[in-house]
Structure 1
C-alpha cells in the first residue's frame, strides 16, 4: 500500500536520500568529468542533502508546507558545487508548488506539477544550460510523470524515476566529455538516486539502480584548461542586484549557477579571478560562507585524490588568491565570525587529498579545528593541525611548504616557520575597557602583538608604526603587512618607508586584505 506524501514521508525521503548518496558517493565522484573533472560531485550532493535533512529534522512536528520549505531552505544554505547548487534549486522549485497548494499531504497531480516546476526553475538558475547533464535528467523526469498525473504520489514518483533513469543512460550521447570517458553524467546519476529515495519513501521498496557502472578514469579522459577556481557563497541581496551580479559573473567565468530568492541566494561560479567574483558579491549585497577552491585537476590529470593539500581559514578575501596559488583550499570568514566544526571538516574533505595540513589562522579556532581534524581522520585522511594564530603565520608556513617531501618533515618545517613568526594586528576599540597596555576608550586604535594589546593610540598610522617597532625590537628579517581596503590611504607605503629608514636590512612585503578584513595584520620573521 503506497504511503501518502506528507510531512513524515518528506522526512523519510531526506533520510533515504542521504543514505543513497552515502552509498553511491564514491561511484558518483569517480564518473565526474563535467563541467570540471574534480571528482567531487557525489560528495557535493551528499553534503547538500545532509543540510536539507538537518533542516527538516529541526522542523520536526511542523506541517507539510513548512516541512517542504525547510527541506528546500536547508539545501539552499548548504548547497555545494555545481550539481549540489542545482539540486537545491530543484528542491526549491518543487517546494514552492507543494507548500502553496497542498494541505497536510500531497496528491499525485500536485507532485507532478512540483517536479515540472523544479525542472524549469533549475534551468532558469543556470546561466548556460547544457544537455546531457542533471538538467536533462530533471526535465525527463518531469515529462515522464505527466502521464501519471492522475495516479497517487507513489506512482508519479516511480514514473518520474524511470524517466530520469532512461534519460541518464542517454547522457553520453549528448555530451562529448561523457562519451569520451564512457560514463553517464555524475550530477544526473545523483538526481536518479534522489528520485529513487523518493520512491522508496513512498512505497517502502527501493527501485532498481541504473545499470551502467562507474569505472576508473584515465588521464586522456579529462580535458585540460578552464578556470582555476571554484567560488561559492551565500548572498543576501535584492533581486535587481542579483540580476546585475549574474551579468558580471557570467563575464568573469563559467559554470555559473545562482539559486534562491526572497533575499537569500547561493552563488556558484568557476573563475580565474576569485577575488573579482567575491567583490561582485560585495557590490550586490552581503556575501558570507565564502568558499574558494583551487582546481588542481582543472588543468591536468584525472580526478585522482591528491597526495597532500593545505586547508586554511582566512579573514576576508584579500589573501584567498595568494593561498590558492600555493595550492590551498580556503574557507573565508567575515569580521567576528568563526566557522563551525562541520564547515572545517567539509573544507578538509573538499581538498580531496590523502594528507591534509590545516591552518586555522586564529587562536579561537584551536579546539574547533582539532575536533574537525579528528573527525576527518576517522574517515581515513591523515590530517595535521598547525596551530597558526594569524593569517601571517599561515603565509610563513606556506612559504616553506614542499608537497614532495615526507609528510612529517613538511609539517615540522611549516610548524617551525609559523612559530618563528610574531604576529600583530590593528583594531579599533568598541568600548572602554582595561587592557594589558592600560585603559582604552571607545574609538581608540589598538595595536595587538601575539594576541595582547601592546599599544593604544588615536591615529592608525602612528599606532601601526609603534606596534611595528615593538615587534622588530628583538630583531627580524622580513615584515609582512596585510592591509584592509578601508585602511587609511597610503598606510602601507608609510610603513614600508619607516622600515627602510629605522630597521636596516629588513625586507617588507605587502598584501591586500580586501573588504571585511582586519584593519592591518603584521608578521615579523
Structure 2
C-alpha cells in the first residue's frame, strides 16, 4: 500500500476515528442546530447513526473491503435518526457502494465514491435546500474530482478536500437565512466535517483532540427562534420492512403522500426495507400508509415544539446559574471558598444563605461528574476551597477533581448527606487556619446523624423487614430505621 492508497484496515480505522470525534463533539453540534427545526438534536442524531455502523464494524470477524462496506452501509441505515442522520447514512451508503469491490482504494476511486455519495444523498431528500450538509458534501465532491488527476499523496488530497469543505461550511449562513439570523453555520454540515477531521487525524497517526472551542454566542442566538417557526410539530421516522420490493411507482406514490402531509422528507428505498423520515402534524397518517407496504421497526416520534421549549429552559437555567456564580466572584481571591452538592431549590437556598459560593445540582440519582466539579472550582475565586460532596457516591469524583486542580488548594470534606455538609459549613471559623478548620469539620460530621424519609416503589425485603409498594421508609446512616404508612409516625419511630 502506497501513500496514495488505502486498504480496508486503514479505512476502518479512519471511519471509527471519525465516529469517535463526532461523539466527542455532538453537544457542540446540538447547539448549532436551528434548521430545519431548532430542537438541538443534530449532533445526537448523527452520532447515533454513525455509532450504529461503528458497532457493526467492530464486530466484524473478517475485515475485507466488502464486509467493511456492508457493515458501514447497513449499520448506518438501520441506525439512522433524524434528517441529518439519514443524510449521513446515505452519504456513507453511496461512498461504500463505490469502493466495496476494490481491496485497495486509490485517489481516482475516492473521487468516484464522493460523487456517488452526493448523488445517493440527494436522491433521498425530497426538497433539498442550499446551505445544508448536502451543499457541503456536494462542493467537496467537486474539489475531490478536480484534484484527482494531480500528483498529491493521500494525506494532502484529503486535507485539501476538508479545507474546501470548511470554506463551504463557513458560507452556509449566506445561503440559508435562518442560519444567518442565528449567527451559526449549518449543524449537519459541521457534523460531517467533524467526522472527516477525525478520520484525517487517524490517517496522520494523531489522537483526536477532546478539547474543542465552542462558539460563545451560539446559545443566545439559537434562543431567538420561536415555536411558531415550527410548521410541522412531530418528527416521525421508521423503517418499513417490506413483504415485497417496492416498484418505482409505489416509491413515488409514498413520496407524494409524505409531501402532502409534511416536510423535511427523507425517503430511502432498499429491496428489503424503506427508511422514512418526515416532519408532520399527523404521525398516524404516515404510519398507516407505511403499514400497507410491510411491518414497521425502529419507530420514533418526537414532539419538536416540546423539545425546543425544554432546550430553551435548560439553556436559560444554565446561563442564570453561571451568571449567579460569576456575580459572586470578588476581584481578589479570598482565603476560603465553599462548594456543595445538593438537589432541589430548598437545599440550594439554605446553602447559599450560609455563604456557599457555588451549589452543584446533584444527589443520589444525579451524580455530578468530575468535570462538573472542576467547572464549579473555576467559578469560585478563592485560594482554598472546601468541597462538600454531601453524598457517598460523589466523594470519588470530588477527590479526582482535587487531584486535577493545580492553582487552588481543594479540601474535600467527605460529607455523605446535606445535613453533614451544613453542619461542617456552620463549624467554619475564619480566625482559624485552613488545617484547623478541616479537622473541626471532619470532627463535626462524625457526630451528625441523618434520617431521610422516602417511599417504596415496589415490594421488597430490607434488613429482614417486609416492605410493600407505597410504604413510608425512614433510612439512616446505619440502614433502615422504620417502615410505616404514615410519614409523621414513621419519622417519630425512627
TM-score, scaled to structure 1? 0.56
SS at match of 1:221: coil
Alignment deviations for residues 257-276 of structure 1 (CA, whole Å, 9 cap, x no partner)? 11252322221111110111
Query: For residues 54 and 302 of structure 1, what CA distance do their matches in structure 2 show?
Result: 29
Q: Does 1:239 align with 2:243?
A: no
SS at match of 1:204: coil
Query: For residues 162 and 77 of structure 2, what CA distance do their matches in structure 1 show?
Result: 23
Deviation at 1:160, TM superposition (A): 1.9
Query: For residues 77 and 153 of structure 1, what CA distance do their matches in structure 2 show?
Result: 31
Q: Does 1:217 align with 2:220?
A: yes
RMSD of the alignment, in Å?
3.4
How many pairs were matched up?
Answer: 322
Query: For residues 143 and 210 of structure 1, what CA distance do their matches in structure 2 show?
Result: 29
Alignment deviations for residues 442-493 of structure 1 (CA, whole Å, 9 cap, x no partner)? xxxxxxxxxxxxxxxxxxxxxxxxxxxxxxxxxxxxxxxxxxxxxxxxxxxx
Deviation at 1:166, TM superposition (A): 0.7
2:109 corresponds in structure 1 to 110
Q: What is the aligned counterpart of 2:234 among 188, 211, 229?
A: 229
Q: Please say if residues 28 and 214 of structure 2, whose CA atoms lie closer than 8 Å, have aligned partners that are also in contact.
A: no
Decide whether aligned partners of structure 1 residues 247 and 413 sit closer, same or farther in structure 2, where only a CA change above 3 A counts.
Answer: farther
Of structures 1 and 2, the larger Rg is shown by 2
1:38 corresponds in structure 2 to 39
Q: Please say if residues 246 and 258 of structure 1, whose CA atoms lie closer than 8 Å, have aligned partners that are also in contact.
A: yes
Deviation at 1:5, TM superposition (A): 2.1
1:126 corresponds in structure 2 to 125
Query: For residues 68 and 254 of structure 1, what CA distance do their matches in structure 2 show?
Result: 31
Q: Please say if residues 112 and 156 of structure 1, whose CA atoms lie closer than 8 Å, have aligned partners that are also in contact.
A: no
Structure 2 unaligned runs (5+)?
Answer: 317-342, 345-364, 373-453, 459-468, 471-494
2:55 corresponds in structure 1 to 54
Decide whether aligned partners of structure 1 residues 412 and 60 sit closer, same or farther in structure 2, where only a CA change above 3 A counts.
Answer: same
Query: For residues 3 and 268 of structure 1, what CA distance do their matches in structure 2 show?
Result: 38
Deviation at 1:413, TM superposition (A): 13
Alignment of 1:13-412 (within 5 A): 13-100=14-101, 102=102, 104-150=103-149, 151-205=152-206, 213=215, 215-218=218-221, 219-222=223-226, 224=228, 225-237=230-242, 238-240=245-247, 241-297=250-306, 303=312, 305=314
Structure 1 unaligned runs (5+)?
Answer: 308-353, 356-375, 382-410, 421-525
Alignment deviations for residues 273-319 of structure 1 (CA, whole Å, 9 cap, x no partner)? 01111111111222212111111357768655499xxxxxxxxxxxx
Q: Please say if residues 229 and 273 of structure 1, whose CA atoms lie closer than 8 Å, have aligned partners that are also in contact.
A: yes
TM-score, scaled to structure 2? 0.59
Deviation at 1:118, TM superposition (A): 0.5
Query: For residues 273 and 100 of structure 2, what CA distance do their matches in structure 1 show?
Result: 18
Decide whether aligned partners of structure 1 residues 131 and 207 sit closer, same or farther in structure 2, where only a CA change above 3 A counts.
Answer: farther
Alignment deviations for residues 166-214 of structure 1 (CA, whole Å, 9 cap, x no partner)? 1100000111110000000000000001111232232324799999836
Moved more, 158-167 or 87-96: 158-167
Query: For residues 315 and 289 of structure 2, what CA distance do their matches in structure 1 show?
Result: 31
Decide whether aligned partners of structure 1 residues 192 and 229 sit closer, same or farther in structure 2, where only a CA change above 3 A counts.
Answer: same
Decide whether aligned partners of structure 1 residues 305 and 264 sit closer, same or farther in structure 2, where only a CA change above 3 A counts.
Answer: farther
Query: For residues 79 and 207 of structure 2, what CA distance do their matches in structure 1 show?
Result: 26
Query: For residues 122 and 57 of structure 1, what CA distance do their matches in structure 2 show?
Result: 25
Deviation at 1:68, TM superposition (A): 1.5
Deviation at 1:55, TM superposition (A): 1.1
